[in-house]
Structure 1
Amino acid sequence: MKVRYNPVVGVVMVVLGAVCLFLGLWLMALGEFNASVLVGALVTLLGILYLVRPYFWVSSSAVELRAVVGPVRRTFPFRTLEVDGSKLVAVNDGDRKKLPVTRWMAHSGDWAAAVERATRR
C-alpha cells in the first residue's frame, strides 16, 4: 500500500520556491546575481517531487521508506505494526523500532488507511 506525502507540504514548497525563483530572476534581470535563484529552483523541484513520489510503502511484512531524491530505500521488517501517537512502530520478536515517518508529512487518507491496516491484524 502506497502512502503519499501530504499535498499541502508539496504545494507550499512549490509556491514558496516559485516566488523565490521569480524574485531571483528579477534581480538577475536588473544585473545582480543572487543565490535565491538556485534556492528557489531547488525548493520548487522538491515540492514537485513531494507531489508525485510516494512517502513510504506498507506491505504485509515490511515498511519501505524511499528517498525523495535518488534511489535510496530503507526497509523495516515487522511482525506487527503499531501506532504510537503520530509515529508508526514496527514490532519484531519483542523488539520495538519507531519508524522515521510522521503523520503530518503523510497524506491524511493514506495515513488513516495504513493505521487501519496496521490495527486490523
Structure 2
Amino acid sequence: MNKVMLIGNVGKEPVVRYYDHDQAVATFPLATTERGYTLPNGTQVPDRTDWHNIVLSRGLAKIVERFVHKGDKLYIEGRIHYRTYDDKNGQRHYVTEVYADNMELLTPKSFKENQQNQNPKSIENAGVDNDLPF
C-alpha cells in the first residue's frame, strides 16, 4: 500500500498547467513541521520542517487554481511517486512527489473579512422593532 497523509502550509503560489482537452495539473511545495522539544537532559531539539512536492490533477487542480494560495494550510492525501530526469548537462536528478487524491482546505476564511464588507449597524438593526411590548 502506498498512502501519504500530510498537513502543512503551501510554500509558494501554485502553478497550474493545462494539457489536452482542458486537463489541469497543479503543482506546489508543501511544508510540514514537527515541533521541537526538550530532552530529559535539557537539550533543545529544534523544529524540523520537511518540504514535499505536491501534484494534483483534473478537478482538484482547478480547485487549487481558484482557492489555494501561498501560506494556506491544507490536508493532502495521496501516494508517493518517484521519477528521474537528466538535465542539459547530463546530470541525473531524482524527484519525489506526492500525487494527491484528496485535499481539504484548512485555512478558515476570516469572519472579520466578511464583516468588513457590510455595515454592522444595518445588520444589527435590520428588521428589529425597538418598540417592544415588554
| TM value normalised by structure 2 | 0.24
Q: Which has the larger radius of gyration?
A: 2
